Amino acid sequence: MEAELAALAASGATALVGLIVSEAFERAKSRVTRFFGSRASGEGAEEELQSARAELDRARLGGDADASAVHGRLRRRLEEVFREDPGAARELAGLLSELAPDTSRGFVSLVGVGVNHGLVLEGSPVHGDIHFHVPPGASPATGWTSPPDQVPVFNGPFSNRTAELAALVARHGDTGEGGSVRVDVLYGLPGVGKSAMAWRCAERTRGRFPDGQLYVDFAALRDQAAPATGGDVSEALAMCLRALPGGHLGIPDSLLDRANLYRSRTAGLRILLVLDDVSQAAQVRALVPKGPGSAVLVTSQGGMGELAVHDGARMVPVRPLDEHHGLRLLTDWCGAEAVEADQEAAKHLVRLCGGLPVALRVAAARLVTDEHAMSIAELAAELDDEANRLAGLALDGEESSVSAVLGASYRMLPPDAARLYRLLGWLPFGRFDLGVAAVAVGADTRGAQRLLRVLAKASLVERARDGRYRMHDLVRLHARERAAEEEPHTEEAALTERVGTHYLALTAFADLALRRERLRIADLTDLLHRATDPFAAPGGPPPLEWLDTERTAVLAVLRAAVRQELYALAWRLAEAFSVLFLYRRYLRAWAETLELGIEAAAAATAGAGTAGEVEEATAGEARLRSLLSRPLLDLGETGRARDQLRRAVALAETTGRLTLRASVQEFLGRCLEVVEPSEAAAAYRCSLELNERAGETRGAALATFFLGRALDARGDHAEAMVLLRRARQDFEHRAEPDRRMAARARAAIGVAHDHLGDTGQAIHELREAVRELRAAADGMQYEARARVQLADIAERAGGHDDLVRECLERAADIHEALGDVGLAETLRRRLGDLDR
């Protein structure tokens, strides 16, 4: 738990510093003091808070923005508090979300406490092609198909650091005392070759880790906007869990639950984990696998000394190359003849590049690709004249030598490749495929591929195993700076619109591939007519897996679209993208997606130029608000869910769309089942009537199912049975049968039989429903519910001990896999009572 506590404490300290320097601190001071003072570890809290305020004031007046000392003291105090009282983090999150909502958003999100936080398609190039491979997800029946092999391959020459690499390989061949987990931290300057060394070590030791190799790039995780301390740890855990046995069963929502599940799933495995670009010790601690003989390779700019002191990690410095080894690298890339032709110039070039392999590789790329055959002496002379070169060799906080070399390399690009480079710097995410690059620059995929080859030869982009491309963080910064200097001020929004429209088309196609019969407000007919559907092609990517792979990029584009006031694009994208969350329940991301869409739809309505635009955006807002009630209910925010539905009902009424009004009433009924069960049936009857008036047969079947279930719950069992049987038949006999809903209806029929006193038929129907739900895609949570209902009835009937035990065991496994550890433990205690 120490890693999770450290992450929570660090994030909480950041939020507290933000509160202390705000104008609200004097009003809030007494409440924060009471929070600390109510605990044994809170002695002296008031004096410390006063001292912190004074120290931060002095720092600001002196022009020094460094609050690290104050932050460190608060972090250590919070670690004591959280260790003493595990519930204190949630209490503090609630307090800070009220007192300082803007500065505490990251901490509140990490703890898991809820907090309120004109589309032009003509002429926008849209490419339906998806230019990277998404492997199909493992089915629940097959589970883990093969060990993960995620570490990238270093394809360039690796003639340097042979002794260090040999020692690293030998160490990872030794399982250690008692099969302990080895942790090695490769640290050094950016671009010094840490990743290359880790990747090559992984390649050399693949056979020693029979359960596979996992890879997490924390630089890529930092692409996500509004990052919070610990948020990248949570996402890294999710990435690893998805690649491990049981990854298809679901990922818990909270950091602590993910960490617990990760330790459980790695306990019997021997794996190698490579963590790239780590910036905090907590990022490593939470991810150390539990399996004996496993190993962790970390790359970091800093030394991570606390990992050595407290966790037994070995620090491995990766230093810049000396003159001899820098010359060897130049020889590898440029050839011996070119280097030997002017040894002194080559030595000078190595010194100018500071011995950093990434800088030397960029310089070498210019030498071997320059059409005028620039000599080493000419390149060294050019770099020698760089006015900012010495500043570029400074440590963190200054420009690095990489930036200086990138500037020279950028100037050598052809104009069309240089423009692509600049525009890629404006992408709100760092990994992209060929289709995104083509849309960004406004070219076809063949032209974009040619330009990417130019950038790749200059080491300005790199291609990953899955076919996508990545720009290094420093390269992206340089590209973004060039874009701000050289592109028109309107181009960034235009780029977001092009890329957002591209993702809108693809998410809409994925949505249609998953289920054609679904209420959709946005009319995307013209857009989809002009694009190619990749999911309909033979061998196309699985739509759900593609959506999951691209969710970080799509959410980043959605944020950018709202920020740049592309409101019509944003709400349409939010609506289409919501399909992912109906199958993969990332509740916080789902809520954020819908909140952004609601904000955009309301703004689109206010800025609409025609009555038709007003009506569509209003309907879109109503649809998104009704959808938002789903994650809010699952997060326990019932008040906010009901408020969203009240507003959704009012908006839907103004549109005259019967199907929308019917859908909103259905969502209202599901909310009322939680907050006012006696009122739920009325909402479902209204939904049923509206669906029938609109001729919407699937919506009518859904309303019939929910109405039957609500009537059964309040005691009208005979009427409920009629409705549930009708709903099941409607789901089964559609042109696009809905197997999952039909199975859910069958489970409800079984419960109704029990209420009517027909226990034998109840057990039969529930057994069949369990079988059907287990075979249905993404029916696990409903299978677990049906199994518990079957166990309840069978236990009361008596004589079914084996059936009861089987149902409870499977339901507990499902709930644990889905992250509901508390319910899983309740079911296991019930199993224990059966054995007494």
The string of pLDDT tens digits covering residues 687-743 is: 999 999 999 999 999 999 999 999 999 999 999 999 999 999 999 998 888 888 999
> In this predicted structure, what is the pLDDT of residue 86?
72
Better pLDDT: 284 or 728: 728
pLDDT tens figures, 658-678: 999 999 999 999 999 999 998
Look up residue 462 and give its amino acid: E
Better pLDDT: 402 or 226: 402
Better pLDDT: 69 or 259: 259
**H or E element at residue 311:** helix 305-311
Instruction: Show the tokens assigned to 809.
Output: 């065991």
Weakest mean pLDDT among 18-22, 278-282, 600-604, 641-645 = 18-22
> In this predicted structure, what is the pLDDT of residue 142?
40
> In this predicted structure, what is the pLDDT of residue 117?
33
828 burial type by CB count under 10 A (0-12 exposed, 13-18 middle, 19+ buried): middle
Look up residue 48 and give its amino acid: E
Q: How far apart are CA 738 and CA 511, in angstroms?
A: 15
> In this predicted structure, what is the pLDDT of residue 9?
77
DSSP-based three-state secondary structure for 117: coil
> In this predicted structure, what is the pLDDT of residue 113?
46
pLDDT tens figures, 304-317: 777 777 778 888 88
pLDDT tens figures, 400-425: 446 655 676 788 889 999 999 999 99
| Section 490-515 average pLDDT | 96
DSSP string, 755-816: HTT-HHHHHHHHHHHHHHHHHSTT-HHHHHHHHHHHHHHHHHH-S-HHHHHHHHHHHHHHHH
| Section 329-341 average pLDDT | 82
> In this predicted structure, what is the pLDDT of residue 17?
78
Q: CB atoms < 10 A from the CB of 143, how many?
A: 12
Cα-Cα-Cα-Cα torsion 461, 465, 468, 469, nearest 10 degrees, comes to: -10
Q: What are phi and psi of 470, to 5 degrees?
A: -140, 140
> In this predicted structure, what is the pLDDT of residue 385?
57
pLDDT tens figures, 43-61: 677 777 888 877 776 655 4
Q: How far apart are CA 668 and CA 512, in angstroms?
A: 25
pLDDT tens figures, 356-367: 787 777 777 777
Task: Provide the percentage of residues in the chain whose pLDDT is more than 90.
Answer: 40
Better pLDDT: 232 or 452: 452
pLDDT tens figures, 229-282: 456 788 888 889 888 887 767 778 788 888 888 888 888 888 899 998 887 888
Q: CB atoms < 10 A from the CB of 438, how many?
A: 26
- Which of 167, 192, 202, 199 is CA-nearest to residue 318? 192
> In this predicted structure, what is the pLDDT of residue 409?
72
| Section 473-487 average pLDDT | 83
pLDDT tens figures, 344-353: 888 888 887 7
> In this predicted structure, what is the pLDDT of residue 303?
66
pLDDT tens figures, 546-599: 999 999 999 999 999 999 999 999 999 999 999 998 888 788 999 999 999 999
Instruction: Show the tokens assigned to 21.
Output: 């320097």
Q: CB atoms < 10 A from the CB of 799, how many?
A: 9
> In this predicted structure, what is the pLDDT of residue 389?
39
Instruction: Show the tokens assigned to 647.
Output: 């507003």
pLDDT, the chain, mean: 82
> In this predicted structure, what is the pLDDT of residue 591?
95
Weakest mean pLDDT among 207-221, 540-554, 612-626, 643-657 = 207-221
| Section 768-795 average pLDDT | 89
Task: Reply yes or no on whether the pLDDT at 787 is more than 70.
Answer: yes
Q: How far apart are CA 141 and CA 369, in angstroms?
A: 51
> Long-range contacts of range 808-816, CB-CB < 8 Å, 24 or more positions apart?
808/834, 810/783, 810/784, 811/783, 811/784, 811/785, 811/787, 814/249, 814/780, 814/781, 814/783, 814/784, 814/787, 815/784, 816/261
Task: List the alpha helices (DSSP H) in 578-696.
Answer: 579-583, 587-607, 611-634, 638-655, 658-675, 677-694
- Which of 292, 303, 299 is CA-nearest to residue 395? 303
pLDDT tens figures, 146-163: 788 888 877 666 667 777
> In this predicted structure, what is the pLDDT of residue 30?
79
Q: How far apart are CA 88 and CA 92, in angstroms?
A: 6
Task: Reply yes or no on whether the pLDDT at 225 is more than 60.
Answer: no
Better pLDDT: 380 or 588: 588
Task: List the alpha helices (DSSP H) in 464-610.
Answer: 473-486, 491-514, 525-529, 543-549, 551-563, 567-577, 579-583, 587-607
Q: CB atoms < 10 A from the CB of 26, how many?
A: 9
DSSP string, 144-170: --S--B-SPP--S---S-HHHHHHHHH
> In this predicted structure, what is the pLDDT of residue 273?
92
Task: Provide the percentage of residues in the chain whose pLDDT is more than 70.
Answer: 83
> In this predicted structure, what is the pLDDT of residue 65?
39
Weakest mean pLDDT among 23-32, 207-216, 477-486 = 23-32
Look up residue 365 and give its amino acid: A
| Region for residue 304 given its phi and psi (left: phi exceeds 0; alpha: psi -120 to 50; beta: otherwise) | left
Task: Reply yes or no on whether the pLDDT at 685 is more than 50.
Answer: yes
| Section 785-814 average pLDDT | 92
Q: How confident is the model at residue 656 (pLDDT cuts 50, 70, 90)?
A: confident
Q: How confident is the model at residue 114 (pLDDT cuts 50, 70, 90)?
A: very low
| Tokens 């490579």 belong to residue | 274
> In this predicted structure, what is the pLDDT of residue 379?
78
